[in-house]
Chains A and B, each alone.
Chain A
Amino acid sequence: MLNLHLYMAQRLTAMIMAPLTIGHLAVMIYAVQGGLNVAEILARTQGSLAWFIFYGSFVLAVSIHAAIGMRAIMFEWLGIKGAVLSVISWGLCLFLLALGGHAVWAVTFAGASA
């Protein structure tokens, strides 16, 4: 169940993600031509501060947005509430942040061999 603060966080992260999502869709439509491979992806993203900021903010925003969205669904459709609901919601946020952050790092500054 959403209160004013959760609602505002949800809407603000949504607004932040609208241009990021459009950008991501555009990149995907461009990048998917001729098939995908690691070398091609890394050639674009490796060492790039711009991509780090782009996808880094995307990961931060989606972790918050998805966790709040799933919080409402778990409450309304699964009847989970109270402390358990908060623990699972925060857990989901941190899980997405960790996994997503690692993915962003992996394709930008982690220095993977192509």
Chain B
Amino acid sequence: MIRPHRTHALWYAFVLHRLSGIALALFLPLHFYMLSLALTDPAQLDEFLAFTDLLIVKCAEFALVFLLAVHMFGGLRLMALEFLPWSSRQKTFAASTVALAFVISTGFFLQAT
């Protein structure tokens, strides 16, 4: 259960930004390691890339692209909040972040499958 003082849109936007950042930070070392296999063991990398054709992996990639996009748009939202004149549409911006990220990740998923 979420504590009552936190149940508002902009707190959820904060949590989404933080959790997506953590997920990306944990994902990156694996991503870098896999890519470096292009040098040390290309055959293993090809095997792994074939494995990523599975639908369940594509769904995971959809989630990853969503997390990257939502973290980036969320970050742009924050920098706009900080460096541009204040807007009263804070909740609209937060919602747009999620919507745009969903569009991009869906676009990726449709191309990938």
Interface residues in chain A, defined as those with a beta carbon under 8 Å from any beta carbon in chain B: 11, 14-15, 17-18, 21-22, 25, 28-30, 32-33, 35-38, 41-42, 59, 62, 66, 69-70, 73, 92, 95-96, 99-100, 102-103, 105-107, 110, 112-114
Between A and B, how many residue pairs show CB distances below 8 Å?
96
Classify the interface of chain B: helix, strand, loop or mixed.
helix
Report the contact-size class of chain B (Cβ under 8 Å from the partner): 35 or more
* Known A-B contacts A14-B79, A66-B28, A95-B29; A25 and B108 likewise in contact (beta carbons under 8 Å): yes
Which residue of chain B is the closest to A31 with respect to CB atoms? B111
Neighbour of A41 across the interface among B18, B38, B72, CB < 8 A: B38
* Known A-B contacts A28-B65, A29-B107, A37-B46; A11 and B79 likewise in contact (beta carbons under 8 Å): yes
Distance of A86 Cα from B112 Cα, bound (Å): 40
Q: Which one of B4-12, B19-27, B85-93 is at the interface?
A: B19-27
Distance of A99 Cα from B36 Cα, bound (Å): 8
Q: Which 6 A-B pairs have the closest CB atoms?
A: A106-B39, A103-B35, A99-B32, A103-B32, A32-B112, A106-B36
